[in-house]
Structure 1
Amino acid sequence: MIFCGDPHPAAHMPLPGYPRGGVGACTGDKKCSCTVNPLVTPPASRAEYNYTISWRWTYTRSNIFTPSPKMKLKLLTWDVKDTLLRLRLPVGQQYQAEAKSRGLQVDSAALDSSFRQVYSNHWRLFPNYGLSQGMTSHRWWLDVVSQTFRLSGIQDEKILQSLSERLYQDFCTDRYWEVLPGAREALKGCEELGLRMAVISNFDRRLEDILRHVDLDGHFDFVLTSESAGVAKPDLGIFHKALKLGAVSPQCAAHIGDDFVKDYKAAREAGMFSLLLQNRLRKDIPSDHVIQSLDQLIPRLREVME
């Protein structure tokens, strides 16, 4: 006897505590797909049923798994920061270097702490670069950088203006950004699988320039930033816009990113398949939905594609 998660009610003798037609002892009904996707042992709990049956089961907003065949995947969308690119050095060190070039002494740890505080407050008060409040992303970033230096002890407004503008411009080049290990190989592998690719990122309008400077821009059909979309992840609107631009249904699209809420969960709520890039497994999602490095991406995609 085997146990499976096929929801066809005629195929199962339900196990206690599970919904009728859910996980159960298979009776061998030909309508059951357990020969394709069996579970050798029954799940230990309803929570395990909800989270670890198999990658073939799609988690929905009502906490129910529904079976899905292998995907006809056409479009893969990517997050960028800490998925494809990362900062070469912490923000505090990069800001300190620019200040030092002007003869100013500022502690990098103080700059790091100030930046985190200012960025968080500014995004809360003026979300998505303040676009709905009449701001531009350029103005938004100049304010963030200036206030970061103010909190770290620099008060001269002329110096602050010059520092902020210089850093804003430099951060759209490869001076401060580097490609994550395995990213180029993963992008090439996706192309060899026949996938079209695009970007969905909570970045500002400089992102296309950054991707061009690091020689990644040629991999993408389009780059959709939260600034150009008018909404930021995890708002489902940005995913819907990407699907429209890609001219694909959610069932034919997948997304990969490093943030559970903004990337993994939001993409699934938009109807897409998604993978979470993190260096450790999580208890709240199936292990097959997590890749711990980009060299695991292509084998995982092969598993889910027709």
Structure 2
Amino acid sequence: MSAPSGLLLDAMGTLIGLRQSVGESYAAVAETFGLTIAPEAINGVFAGLFRQAPELAFPGLSGEALLEAEERWWTTLVAQVFAACGHEGPLPEGFGTTLFQHFAKADPWLVYPDVRENLQRWQQRGLKLAVVSNFDQRLLPLLEALELSPLLDAVVVSSVVGAAKPSPLPLQAALRQLELPAEQVWHIGDSPEDQASAAAAGIRCLLIKRAKPNGTP
């Protein structure tokens, strides 16, 4: 097996994770709006609703329309989560936006201990590195704030590409940005979607097993 010339790296659960659970974060912000919901209740419904949600991908949108679609996707999910936890009626005005902005900041996130060293080592070896994530445009400034951006050649998010893994399109977009063919690249991720996306794109996939993540906001 020949060594790759580039690596496509998943973000959530592969390079970065949450410092506390989704339920703890959501409940803490909810308290500031006068809502009391147990973190355990939120954690109990979030993963299932997240998996059932439409793809975080908006083909044909750009600019302000794309930004609005991204926030609307998340605020809709937040409303579903709180309804499933027993909250009746609409959520307080601004609550969904506050949560959306909360997770755009570096504070809720951590970089896994081995990540920075490995990225530096791969970069020194001349590998081209791209993050490919089923996420939105918040990921770009987030990676900047976490001081990972200087170690990356490209960042591809599903909302911008208009397709999410397990589609091969996000990985193929990264290949174009890196100017590398599929046979010279490996994908490193943590989910069946990563594996399926890589297989569809003709890319070798390596799955990493982290401690069970706290979820994705």
Given the two structures, how large is their TM-score scaled by the length of structure 1? 0.62
Is the 8 Å Cα contact of residues 211 and 217 (structure 1) preserved in structure 2?
yes
Match of 2:215 in 1: none
AA in 2 matched with 1:175: D
CA distance in structure 1 between the partners assigned to 2:210 and 2:144 by the alignment: 27
AA in 1 matched with 2:181: S
Using a 3 Å threshold, how does the CA distance of structure 1 residues 140 and 129 change in structure 2: closer, same or farther?
Answer: farther
SS at match of 2:94: helix
AA in 1 matched with 2:56: N
Using a 3 Å threshold, how does the CA distance of structure 1 residues 164 and 180 change in structure 2: closer, same or farther?
Answer: same
CA distance in structure 2 between the partners assigned to 1:265 and 1:116 by the alignment: 20
Residue of structure 2 aligned with 1:272, choices 164, 188, 203: 203
Match of 2:37 in 1: 106
Match of 2:5 in 1: 74
Q: CA RMSD in A?
A: 2.3
- What is the number of equivalent residue pairs in this alignment? 206
CA distance in structure 2 between the partners assigned to 1:150 and 1:132 by the alignment: 31
Give me the identity figure in percent. Answer: 30
CA distance in structure 2 between the partners assigned to 1:129 and 1:238 by the alignment: 10
**1:258 to partner: Cα distance:** 0.8
Is the 8 Å Cα contact of residues 182 and 201 (structure 2) preserved in structure 1?
yes
SS at match of 1:200: strand
SS at match of 1:118: helix
SS at match of 1:128: coil
Residue of structure 2 aligned with 1:155, choices 80, 88, 97: 88
Larger Rg over CA atoms: 1
Residue of structure 1 aligned with 2:140, choices 208, 213, 231: 208
> Which structure has more RCO (C-alpha within 8 Å, separation ≥ 6)?
2
Match of 1:257 in 2: 189
SS at match of 1:136: helix
Flag structure 1 segments of 5+ consecutive residues without an equivalent: 1-55, 57-69, 281-306
CA distance in structure 1 between the partners assigned to 2:33 and 2:163 by the alignment: 37
**1:234 to partner: Cα distance:** 1.3
Is the 8 Å Cα contact of residues 131 and 137 (structure 1) preserved in structure 2?
no
> 1:44-63 alignment to 2 at 5 Å?
56=1
1:93 has 2:93 as partner:
no
Is the 8 Å Cα contact of residues 92 and 110 (structure 1) preserved in structure 2?
yes
Using a 3 Å threshold, how does the CA distance of structure 1 residues 212 and 92 change in structure 2: closer, same or farther?
Answer: same
Q: Deviations over 1:70-95 (max 9, x none)?
A: 23x32211000010000111111111
CA distance in structure 1 between the partners assigned to 2:204 and 2:37 by the alignment: 45
SS at match of 1:198: strand
SS at match of 2:27: helix
Flag structure 2 segments of 5+ consecutive residues without an equivalent: 212-217
**1:146 to partner: Cα distance:** 1.8
Is the 8 Å Cα contact of residues 56 and 158 (structure 2) preserved in structure 1?
yes
Large movers: runs of 4+ above 6 Å: 132-135
Given the two structures, how large is their TM-score scaled by the length of structure 2? 0.85
CA distance in structure 1 between the partners assigned to 2:184 and 2:34 by the alignment: 54
> 1:1-306 alignment to 2 at 5 Å?
56=1, 70-71=2-3, 73-121=4-52, 123=53, 126-129=54-57, 136-155=69-88, 157=90, 159=92, 161-259=93-191, 261-278=192-209
SS at match of 2:7: strand
CA distance in structure 1 between the partners assigned to 2:143 and 2:131 by the alignment: 10
With 180-189 and 108-117 compared, the bigger mean Cα shift is at 108-117
CA distance in structure 2 between the partners assigned to 1:268 and 1:172 by the alignment: 31
CA distance in structure 1 between the partners assigned to 2:57 and 2:203 by the alignment: 26
